[in-house]
């Protein structure tokens, strides 16, 4: 099979021919039909996340068809369409797993990080951590739901019930999250890089009440804010924007150092917290919601062989919505 391989941190991906993997017990072989490129993939490439498996096939927004079943697999059949997300497996017996917080498992493994992912024609996944894809959503449009959508959903739940919500960073996750928030009747205030009129117009086209630069204050105090860009300086900016008792959620797996800030912007029982990974229950709930709303992802497709060009465009903020790789 053809795969795009990360051989060393900081290097471009290399087109490589690999043997098609064989599924082990409890695993499925997936013929990949689409794989989104996530900001986390950039963090792996750049070394922001430590100790990836090398060489590595990146990609954890995987959609495809079951090509082969490993021993003991039940609940899916060959030819069925499934998705494999960031969370690739957990221990199942630690305190976090037993408390139904498997997203915090200290022994978790992640697709496209400790396990080869979806920047390839085939990949292996633990069947227990895969999700069925709603019939009405195409393969390419479903791919961003597997991480950008899921972390947005978890962050949204952690942000509470307030009616005015701010989204800092308007990329793949935010353009899905704004549709989720609108479904629940929330007012969305979108924050982009200062002067990014294109992203601000995109946010307004999706229903944002207001859109401006991250250096601006919104016209009204927010009940909550979700930070989706890996920029530490957005934390004090968001704290200044939320009311007393408001919540700020950091949705990324990596963030630059947060600068010091005066206690006064945290005081007033404001809450600062992070959203970490996902649970399988998150996936089940969100996929049902994605079909019900329905969520419409805005994507830019790239051939698998153009993965490096797609990564460069994503890094430069030139992708409107989400970037998705399609096997050549």
- What is the block-wise mean pLDDT of the chain (328 residues), using blocks of 10 residues? 98 98 98 97 96 97 98 96 98 97 97 98 98 96 98 98 97 98 98 97 98 98 98 98 98 97 98 97 97 98 98 95 96
Place of tokens 């690739």: 88
pTM for this predicted structure? 0.96
Structure tokens at 203: 């946010």
Cα 325 off chain centre by? 15
Pairing state between β 27-37 and 322-326? antiparallel
Write down the pLDDT at residue 204.
98
Q: What residues does each domain of the chain span?
A: 2-147+278-326, 150-274
pLDDT of residue 256: 96
Q: What is the pLDDT of residue 193?
A: 96
Instruction: Please give the pLDDT value at position 279.
Output: 97
Q: What are the beta bridge partners of residue 191?
A: 168, 212
Q: How many whole angstroms separate alpha carbon 215 and alpha carbon 193?
A: 8
* Contact yes or no for 211/192 (Cβ under 8 A): yes
Dihedral sign (CA 175, 205, 296, 45): negative
CATH class of the domain defined by 150-274: alpha beta
The predicted pLDDT at position 117 comes to 98
State the number of CA atoms in the 13 A half-sphere of 158 facing the CB. 22
At the topology level, CATH places domain 2-147+278-326 in Quinone Oxidoreductase; Chain A, domain 1 (3.90.180)
């Amino acid at each position: 099979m053809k795969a795009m391989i990360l051989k060393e941190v900081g290097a471009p991906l290399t087109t490589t021919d690999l043997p098609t993997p064989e599924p082990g017990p409890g695993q499925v072989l997936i013929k990949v039909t689409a794989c989104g490129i996530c900001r986390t993939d950039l963090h792996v490439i750049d070394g922001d996340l430590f100790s990836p498996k090398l060489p590595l096939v990146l990609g954890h927004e995987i959609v495809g068809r079951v090509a082969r079943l490993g021993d003991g697999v039940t609940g899916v059949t060959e030819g069925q369409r499934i998705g494999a997300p960031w969370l690739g497996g957990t221990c199942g017996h630690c305190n976090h797993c037993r408390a139904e917080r498997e997203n915090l498992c200290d022994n978790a493994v992640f697709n496209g990080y400790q396990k080869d992912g979806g920047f390839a024609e085939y990949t292996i996944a633990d069947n227990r951590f895969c999700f069925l894809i709603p019939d009405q959503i195409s393969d390419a449009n479903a791919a961003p739901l597997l991480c950008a959508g899921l972390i947005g959903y978890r962050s949204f739940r952690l942000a509470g019930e307030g009616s005015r919500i701010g989204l800092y960073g308007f990329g793949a996750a935010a353009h899905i999250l704004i549709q989720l928030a609108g479904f629940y009747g929330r007012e969305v205030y979108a924050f982009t890089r200062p002067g990014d009129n294109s992203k601000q117009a995109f946010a307004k086209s999706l229903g944002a009440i207001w859109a401006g630069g991250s250096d601006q204050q919104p016209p009204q105090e927010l009940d909550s804010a979700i930070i989706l860009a890996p920029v530490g300086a957005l934390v004090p900016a968001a704290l200044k924007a939320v009311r007393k008792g408001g919540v700020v959620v950091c949705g990324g797996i990596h963030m630059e150092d947060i600068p010091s800030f005066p206690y006064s912007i945290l005081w007033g029982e404001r809450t600062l917290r992070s959203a970490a990974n996902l649970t399988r229950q998150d996936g089940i709930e969100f996929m049902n919601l994605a079909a019900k709303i329905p969520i419409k992802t805005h994507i830019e497709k790239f051939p698998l062989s153009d993965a490096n060009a797609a990564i460069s465009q994503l890094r430069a903020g030139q992708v409107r919505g989400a970037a998705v790789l399609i096997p050549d």
